[in-house]
Structure 1
């Protein structure tokens, strides 16, 4: 059971299988846009953006040993005002 697929079938006249396929294709398209442009604006939902996380000091929670966490890319999301209003 996937609530997003259920919502897609309830607001349109498509089958669960087609909804699953469309959502999957949308995810692939978002990944392509992020890889090429570094951000993806989804109207009414928000903006997904690739951000650089700097190297930082951390601690192994199991042993307490100090470690260096390497720099990496991460995904940030900023919700659209319309989405914020919908969940309030």
Structure 2
């Protein structure tokens, strides 16, 4: 399927509705207060996804941020 706005090929996630996905930008996950160490062990330690500093306006809420850069076949990096 092609995105009508960009002309890029997109994957469609089916469920309650359809949502064209060109490339994941980020995923936000909830965690209980104090769950940062467990999140670091899992995402950084086990999966190898690097942790990055949270933006200042979000850091005060706790939690942590991990970023994984993905490239989809046939797509140039942005």
TM-score range, shorter chain: under 0.3
TM-score by length of 1: 0.22
TM-score by length of 2: 0.24
For the pair shown, which has the larger CA radius of gyration, 1 or 2?
Answer: 1
